[in-house]
Structure 1
């Protein structure tokens, strides 16, 4: 493994993450929701651009009422930390996450022709995670852009490596992910939104390309991770049992870990 390649991609990931951290409030305003959630009667609706998202609208319908600085000067549950300090900390944290994501993929894949495709999907995932955590939605345009970038990257990788058959495996992964998440979303009492379903289908492309083991892990790990998060938040009394939480970040982290561990 080339240390130089890992260093370059980690620095690239840090730059992408930092940009995402700075742009998250603007992205939140760029994709406003059509309605507000009546449950946000305590004023937290002012903090979220997706308080009224529902299944089938292309938005993530279920996410935590976590107050964040969304820009625009609205009542965002202002704390004792100055906004510029919060912004700087958020940007630095996003940069660290980006470096870990890109660096981890590079260590795992090495100089594989598919590495650029995986990094493109990772970049889109960083944006989607930031928007989902900030505004409780997974906008269709961002999900579609991630799908196009990742799919195009895999086509190029297949042509360069002379392995067009792996494109079929990638499509199978996307179809199986879509079918699995649609089934879960339609179950009674499900808290999955169709934004989650579409994101899972997009991530099924690189997971299917990687093989059956990463694909299976990618379908299982998000639910395990989300369960850990929910139990932790319940134990610390940060949420109630009926508090909806965003699932997009868990899908993304689960897919990333699946590539690294499988």
Structure 2
């Protein structure tokens, strides 16, 4: 299990600065995605942009408070920025763009590698790599068994989600993987109950996976 060295000890100014960083990075990420991935479409509307920016800023500030000056903080800032973007796109388009998912995986790995060279135990990085492989394989098997329930985008997203959960610990990986399905089930029941025309397969699974990874990172590290 990872134990943040300065968890909860970050000063208000540090937390505010990291939150402001998230507020800035969110529209920059949206701009890059819109320019480099025409398939995703143009920039979202102003309301969506403000919402994603605020959520990203809050998550970045929360991680700054939770993690403090830990060397792994950049990895979780990246998770906040790209995770919110992936959730937004998946909800709007039922799509998890490969370049964004790959950026989260490779960027997260590089950030965690940097944290390891910065003094974090190598065991955390090895466990993170194992977590990425384990969760990816589990999602792949489930998608092959029930293609209507999971898309290949969800399978690919399982790799970076497993990377982060694995870095936090084996317990976090197990419960995080399980809670992702539970959360998605609850969301599906709620959405279908409100809109009876909505099919269960039309409910995006990506936001539940990302939300679980973020929640586990903030609460149970």
Structure with the larger helix share: 2
Return the match for 2:37 from 14, 23, 30: 30
Question: CA separation in 1, counterparts of 2:146 and 2:181?
Answer: 17
1:93 correspondence with 2:51: yes
- Partner SS for 1:161: coil
1:82-103 Cα shifts (integer Å, max 9, x gaps): xxxx922222211111112212
Aligned to 1:124: 82
Question: CA separation in 2, counterparts of 1:71 and 1:174?
Answer: 31
Matched residues, number? 211
1:245 correspondence with 2:200: no
Relative distance call for 1:240 and 1:139 in structure 2 (3 A) is closer
1:201 correspondence with 2:210: no
Question: TM-score by structure 1 length?
Answer: 0.72
Return the match for 1:159 from 106, 111, 117: 117
Aligned pairs (5 A) from 1:55-74 = 71=42
Kindly state the Cα deviation for residue 242 of structure 1 after the two structures are TM-superposed: 4.9
Q: CA RMSD in A?
A: 2.4
Is the contact between residue 117 and residue 154 of structure 1 (CA under 8 Å) also seen in structure 2? yes
Relative distance call for 1:230 and 1:150 in structure 2 (3 A) is same
Aligned to 2:24: 15
- Partner SS for 2:118: helix
Question: CA separation in 2, counterparts of 1:242 and 1:125?
Answer: 22
Is the contact between residue 71 and residue 120 of structure 2 (CA under 8 Å) also seen in structure 1? no
Deviates more, 1:183-192 or 1:196-205: 183-192
1:145 correspondence with 2:85: no
Deviates more, 1:167-176 or 1:104-113: 104-113
Question: TM-score by structure 2 length?
Answer: 0.84
1:233 correspondence with 2:191: yes
Relative distance call for 1:228 and 1:162 in structure 2 (3 A) is closer
1:175 correspondence with 2:125: no
Return the match for 1:221 from 155, 179, 186: 179
1:184 correspondence with 2:142: yes
In structure 2, runs of 5+ residues without a counterpart are 1-8
- Specify the structure having the higher radius of gyration (Cα): 1
Is the contact between residue 59 and residue 80 of structure 2 (CA under 8 Å) also seen in structure 1? yes
Kindly state the Cα deviation for residue 105 of structure 1 after the two structures are TM-superposed: 1.8
Is the contact between residue 136 and residue 246 of structure 1 (CA under 8 Å) also seen in structure 2? yes
Kindly state the Cα deviation for residue 251 of structure 1 after the two structures are TM-superposed: 0.9
Return the match for 1:107 from 49, 55, 65: 65
Question: CA separation in 2, counterparts of 1:208 and 1:144?
Answer: 17
Aligned to 1:43: none
Question: CA separation in 2, counterparts of 1:137 and 1:183?
Answer: 20
